[in-house]
A = this chain, B = another copy of it.
Amino acid sequence: MNGAESLVHTLVKSGVDTCFANPGTSEMHFVAALDRVPGIRCVLGLFEGVVTGAADGYARMADKPAVTLLHCGPGLANGLANLHNARRARSPMVNAVGDQATYHRPLDAPLTADTEGWARPVSCWTRTVTRAADVGRDTAAAVQASMSGARGIASLLLPSDTCWDEGGVVAEPLAPVAPTAADPAALQQAARILRGGEPVLLLIAGRTLRSGPIADAFRIAAATGATVMAPVSNARVERGRGRHAVERIPYPVDSAVKRLAGFKHCILVGAADPVGFFAYPNKPGRMLPPDAGVHVLTRPEEDGPAALAALADLLGAPAAPVTDAAVSRDTPRGQPTSEAVAQAITALLPENSIIVDESVSFGRAFQGGTAGAAPHDWLQLTGGAIGEGLPLATGAAIASPGRRVLSLQADGSGMYTLQALWTQAREKLDVTTVILSNRKYAILLGELAGVGANPGRTALDMMDIGNPDLDWVKMANGMGVEAARAETAEELCDLMRSANGRPGPFVIELMI
């Protein structure tokens, strides 16, 4: 057995059954092993940013890692931006990066790069294998690392000779390190604060944003008057009709500061002390009032869901039933505003859908306006690196057969990784993409105004992606995905209905 075969066998034994791939020459033995050893579904991406973003979407829905197959330092580099997002999402993932043979690396061939150096900042675990006999052992360790504690990205660098040499040994799976229990003192402290009668923000994040822990957070809120919120961006939130709606901290600094004014305490459950995405002159970096106390109930590597349940019990909090607000299910008409798109989702979203939100500036009404839609998962861009929406939707669909994915995609960001549409066509994924086509970097126009500049031609040109106009119908068709344009809310609804009613991907270019 060669090293590559031990790699594939060990992955399968460790429960990894999906590979997002863009292989190159140094991975040919890995590819040949995937051929010979059954048990792994291979999904090809035409660019590495698609591969890593899809692996992130997969991990968020499957709650376990896929393996990526990447080619040398530059192949990894092309996937780094979405690995950055995945790191912020705490998505488990195993990168298998083929690289120069151990003895070829000193010759500095053209593709030789600092693969380890590029991998390390996004990885919780990085290792370069040095001989075939270690491939199995290191693969099991990589899977274990990705699923341990707060979870993360394990990057396994495979010099080509470690794959083609004989002597591979299949390794047994290694049990991940489970999240540790919250410190009992932190539990007692949180209970004291919640009983104290001052305004408390209960900020929940990560895997506490599933419906069970959310319900416990709302038990606590109902019993104590605390406010439950989530960070501005989250890997996955279970929401919709019949579930408690968790408010998010607003993105704009002024709005966030205003919303959080008055809280005397903030209890963090897997969340960080909230900060602005960016600094601005004469605005604060932290969003909480400076005099608010910040208390950690659980760190990300601790068991947040169990801590919320324990805290609710400690407080003697009864169940807090959901009372859905009355919501119209009429389809919207006229201008396709942000509110109209939200209403279309509320009216038409299939039960148990997955929404992928990279709507950037236009999506301001989406979350508030869709709390009454059918139950769904909401996936967001966690690291602020645009260009993950289309790959994320692709990976989420791979992980969730039978569930419709609705991908809400700003046009400027969508151009970063539009190649994902081809993978959606190839794999016949049930993804409805709505391209929010305003033909500008609208968020930057707002930011430029915030700078106090009166923008001239040069600046405006750098925000304008409408010269020439992008035609998403043609681009999608060029990658094998059917598509149509909508100019009104009615047309949007007609196309959403039609897309929901048929298998496979569909792109709606919504002119906003």
Contacts and interface: CB of A to CB of B under 8 A. Distances in A.
B108 A42 contact: no
Interface in A367-418: 382-385, 387, 412, 415-416, 418
Contacts of A286: 107
A452 to B, nearest CB: 8
Contact of A458 (B29, B34, B110, B455): B34
A74 B279 contact: no
Interface stretch (A43-51, A180-188, A242-250, A345-353): A43-51
Given A28-B444, A84-B77, A121 B110 contact: no
A487 interface: no
A267 B121 CA distance: 41
A25 interface: yes
A456 B35 contact: yes
A225 B109 CA distance: 29
B78 A278 contact: no
B459 A31 contact: yes
Interface in A31-80: 31-32, 34-36, 42, 44, 46-47, 49, 72-75, 77-78, 80
Interface in A275-302: 275-279, 281, 285-286
Interface residues on A, range: 35 or more
A465 interface: yes
A448 interface: yes
Given A78-B387, A451-B164, A468-B480, A121 B118 contact: yes
Contacts of A474: 474-475, 477-478
Interface in A452-481: 453, 455-459, 461-462, 465, 467-475, 477-480
Interface stretch (A98-106, A150-158, A313-321, A324-332): A98-106
Contacts of A120: 114, 117
A448 B28 CA distance: 6
Interface string A468-508: 11111111011110000000000000000000000000000
